[in-house]
Amino acid sequence: MTTPLISARDVNVRFRITRPGDMPWTAPRHLHAVNGVSFDLMPGQTLGIVGESGCGKSTLARALIQMAPAEGQVIWQGSDDLLALSPSRMKRYRSEIQMIFQDPLASLNPRMTLGQIIAEPLRTHRPDLGRDEVKTRVRDMMDRVGLLPQMINRYPHEFSGGQCQRIGIARALIVEPKLLICDEPVSALDVSIQAQVIELLQELQSDLGLAMIFIAHDLSVVKHISDEVMVLYLGRMMEKAPSELLYADPQHPYTQALMSAVPVPDPVIEREKTIIPLHGDLPSPMAPPSGCVFRTRCPRAEAACAEEVPQPGRGRHQCACLFPGRLTAEEVA
């Protein structure tokens, strides 16, 4: 059996919140960003993570590489727990796990040229390489991501959003990582450019044997790139399953509501499909509801949902719901 590239076990992220006037004896208040999330990611596969804004997607991704304070375990290739490593020991894994960020322009240093930006990780993680070798690798990576050679001395503000994201991808891949974490990499781009970037990521994944964690709001985007999809709500995992299984038969009411909101290009199907509304606002992560955190907006909620925290269980299709299954027309109305 293949060992997972990365295994998260009961990952929790809490931020202590202080207010002006708090005294030393004031009871601490915490924002619960991620609660008990677990998953396995195999080499060469893609895990899609979806959910509303504020559900903990980006915080979870940052927690995996010690960019956010976390509890639990993150096992790398069946050996080291990344959350237990010191900063000096964690440094050797930085080149094996790279990130692409949501805002392509803001993630690039405006005072550095394209060539300097892409070469920077090599100077950090491969100081043994000579100048000529670095230039060769930079030019090869530029060609691989679709950047022209004459662009090498330009600055980030001279590029479009799609080109800036290609620079970010080149910068992340120049050190040959095993895992690429994509934190909403296409949400700031036009639809046509989104398709190009996703196609590029899929080609690079196939060529380089990368594993990816792909974070997005858009379920239709995640469907085409992910082998497995995990749905988060208020820091908790609601449902996780192989992509084709989740989209064919979603079991959690929250997943069904998200899927009903995805636009369909066929106007006839779009008019006839049933929209599952989510009433009310997302609860505060500083005071999450008892029991199932989704119960305050769930059309199927019962008294038991306030008492018991549903567990996702085991198996290929995991659903953290006391009453899973397709919503009926009466429940949706």
> What CATH number does residue 35 fall under?
3.40.50.300
Span 217-244, pLDDT tens digits: 878 888 888 999 999 999 999 999 999 9
Contacts of 304 (CB under 8 A, 6+ apart): 291, 322
Predicted pLDDT at 186? 85
Number of domains in the chain: 1
In a domain, 102, yes or no: no
Domain membership flag for residue 113: no
Domain housing 90: 6-17+28-96+177-250
Give the DSSP per-residue string, 163-184. HHHHHHHHHHHTT--SEEEEES
Q: Is residue 278 assigned to a domain?
A: no
In a domain, residue 205? The reply is yes
> Which residues are within 8 A (CB) of 3 and not within 5 positions of it... i.e. 6 or more apart?
77, 78
Residue 330 within a domain: no
The yes-or-no verdict on residue 270 having pLDDT over 80 is no
In a domain, 237, yes or no: yes
Q: Is the pTM of this model over 0.85?
A: yes
What pLDDT shows up at residue 267? 79
Domain membership flag for residue 44: yes
CA 96, distance to chain mean position in Å, is 17
Residues facing 40 on adjacent strands: 7
Residue 1 has pLDDT above 70, yes or no: no
Identify whether 32 is part of a domain: yes
